[in-house]
């Protein structure tokens, strides 16, 4: 029996957990498998993994909202050269994410085709989902952690000595008492709320999930009416976490997950807020709409058996004026925007909003 995320996992439990770390039981509400490898990379290296430039490889698929968070935070903080990234293709099978976009289908650094191989390096009997993002130690090719929520907080707090000059403080200490419960609310009600709708196992479960999701979106919309960002005048980790769900809303969740009370583009405050972030360096330049659609519509065959990927929607609206400057504030506070996207990490032309 192994222990992950503070809970013992018996061999008999393995079949419940998919590559994406989620599962749904017919007739029941959706649940997310929230057990992760919780080892941390810290300045002091207490767990055996110390902060070290170039030692770790971030494996983060653009299609995945949880992985997208790490790509945004890494870019905002200027950690691209310090924590190099590998990006699997947008689809995966029941076994593993794979490096379909790389030459020969092999990650050029880890020399593996399946991300699963890095998990098995950590534990030959690894029982849980093969998820992204994953931080891999290039010394032995083994996964260090896939705890996405802690990973980005550690990028902000443990990797400070490697931040670029002018990097924003995404997790300000004086705001954490208010931020932490807000981020938990965003996770349970919105980030996970769309999945609760999409994978509901019954009509009643869906109806409850739908009501919870839109109640939360309305609550957050009210909060953002008078403040430019969730915590006030500057961007924080809370905005990153909300953004990755909002940017997928019309392209995927509205139709695929049946979250169709309103499109994001029909919710004025949230739509303007999301466009403000999208047009901020570090956010929209990590988004590949084509990969996002390919992932959800091709992988979730239980929801979309045909595997047909819709041609729409028109994403050019993401580049339209948002007017949020009228609320004041500065996205990076006393800091500065990140520089150009790192070579080789540019979003493919067919995935951009102006495609």
Specify which of 2-11, 15-24, 71-80 reaches the highest per-range mean pLDDT: 71-80
When pLDDT is cut at 50, 70 and 90, the band that residue 343 belongs to is: very high
For residue 6, the model assigns a pLDDT of: 41
Do the strands 56-59 and 31-32 form a parallel or antiparallel pair, or are they unpaired?
unpaired
- As beta bridge partners, residue 57 has 136
Q: Is the pLDDT of residue 28 over 90?
A: no
For residue 7, the model assigns a pLDDT of: 36
- As beta bridge partners, residue 85 has 58
When pLDDT is cut at 50, 70 and 90, the band that residue 355 belongs to is: confident
Mean pLDDT computed over 110-114 = 98
Query: CA torsion angle for 191, 195, 200, 206 (degrees, to 10)?
Result: 50
When pLDDT is cut at 50, 70 and 90, the band that residue 72 belongs to is: very high
Query: If DSSP states are collapsed to H, E and C, what string results for the chain?
Result: CEEECCEEECHHHHHHCCCCCEECCCCCCCEECCCCCCCCCECCCCCCCECCCCCEEEECCCCCHHHHHHHHHHHHHCCCCCCCEECCCCCECCCCEECCCCHHHCCCCCCCCECHHHHHHHCCCCCCCCCCCEEEECCCCEEEECCHHHHHHHHHHCCHHHCCCCCCCCCCHHHHHHHHHHHHHHHHHHHCHHHHHHCCCCHHHHHHHHHHHHHHHHHHHHHHCCCCECCECCCCHHHHHHHHHHCCHHHHHHHHCCCCCCCHHHCHHHHHHHHHHHCCCCCHHHCCHHHHHHHHHHHCCCCCCCCCCCCCCCCHHHHCCCCHHHHCCCCCCCCCCCCCCCCCCCCCHHHCCCC
Q: Is the pLDDT of residue 239 over 80?
A: yes
Q: Residue 113 and residue 280: Cα distance in Å, rounded?
A: 34
pLDDT tens for 175-213 read: 999 999 999 999 999 999 999 999 999 999 999 999 999
pLDDT > 90: what percent of the chain?
Answer: 88
Lowest mean pLDDT among 30-39, 46-55, 178-187: 30-39
For residue 93, the model assigns a pLDDT of: 86
Q: Is the pLDDT of residue 116 over 70?
A: yes
For residue 34, the model assigns a pLDDT of: 67
For residue 33, the model assigns a pLDDT of: 64
Compute the residue count for the chain. 355
For residue 181, the model assigns a pLDDT of: 97
Could you give the domains of the chain? Answer: 2-162 (3.40.30.10), 173-351 (1.20.1050.10)
97 assigned to a ligand binding site:
yes
Do the strands 134-137 and 56-59 form a parallel or antiparallel pair, or are they unpaired?
antiparallel
Q: Residue 279 and residue 317: Cα distance in Å, rounded?
A: 11
Q: Is the pLDDT of residue 70 over 50?
A: yes
Q: Which residues contact 339 (CB under 8 A, 6 or more apart)?
A: 78, 164
- As beta bridge partners, residue 137 has 56, 142
Active site residues: 64, 195
Mean pLDDT computed over 123-138 = 95
For residue 1, the model assigns a pLDDT of: 35
Give me the chain's average pLDDT, please.
Answer: 92
For residue 14, the model assigns a pLDDT of: 29
For residue 240, the model assigns a pLDDT of: 98
């Amino acid at each position: 029996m192994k222990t992950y995320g503070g809970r013992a996992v018996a061999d008999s439990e393995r079949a419940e957990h998919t590559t994406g770390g989620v599962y749904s039981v017919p007739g029941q509400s959706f649940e997310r498998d929230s057990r992760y490898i919780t080892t941390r990379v810290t300045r002091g290296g207490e767990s055996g993994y110390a902060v070290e430039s170039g030692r770790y490889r971030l494996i983060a698929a653009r299609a995945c909202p949880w992985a997208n968070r790490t790509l945004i935070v890494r870019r905002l903080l200027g950690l691209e050269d310090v924590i190099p990234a590998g990006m699997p293709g947008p689809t995966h099978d029941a076994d593993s994410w794979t490096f379909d976009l790389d030459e020969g289908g092999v990650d050029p650094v880890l020399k593996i085709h399946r991300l699963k191989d890095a998990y098995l390096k950590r534990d030959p009997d690894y029982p849980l989902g093969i998820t992204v993002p994953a931080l891999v130690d290039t010394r032995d090719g083994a996964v260090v952690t896939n705890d996405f929520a802690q990973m980005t907080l550690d990028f902000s707090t443990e990797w400070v000595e490697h931040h670029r000059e002018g990097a924003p403080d995404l997790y300000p200490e004086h705001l954490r008492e208010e931020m932490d419960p807000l981020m938990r609310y965003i996770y349970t009600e919105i980030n996970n709320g769309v999945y609760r709708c999409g994978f509901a196992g019954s009509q009643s479960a869906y109806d409850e999930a739908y009501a919870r999701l839109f109640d939360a979106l309305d609550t957050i919309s009210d909060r953002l009416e008078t403040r430019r960002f969730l915590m006030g005048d500057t961007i924080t980790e809370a905005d990153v976490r909300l953004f990755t769900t909002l940017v997928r809303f019309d392209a995927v969740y509205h139709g695929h997950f049946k979250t169709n009370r309103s499109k994001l583009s029909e919710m004025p405050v949230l739509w303007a807020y999301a466009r403000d972030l999208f047009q901020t360096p570090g956010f929209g330049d990590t988004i590949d709409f084509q990969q996002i659609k390919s992932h959800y519509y091709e992988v979730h065959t239980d929801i979309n058996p045909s595997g047909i990927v819709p041609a729409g929607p028109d994403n050019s609206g993401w580049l339209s004026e948002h007017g949020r400057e009228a609320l004041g504030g500065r996205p990076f506070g006393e800091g500065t925007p990140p520089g150009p996207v790192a070579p080789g990490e540019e979003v493919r032309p067919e995935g951009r909003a102006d495609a």
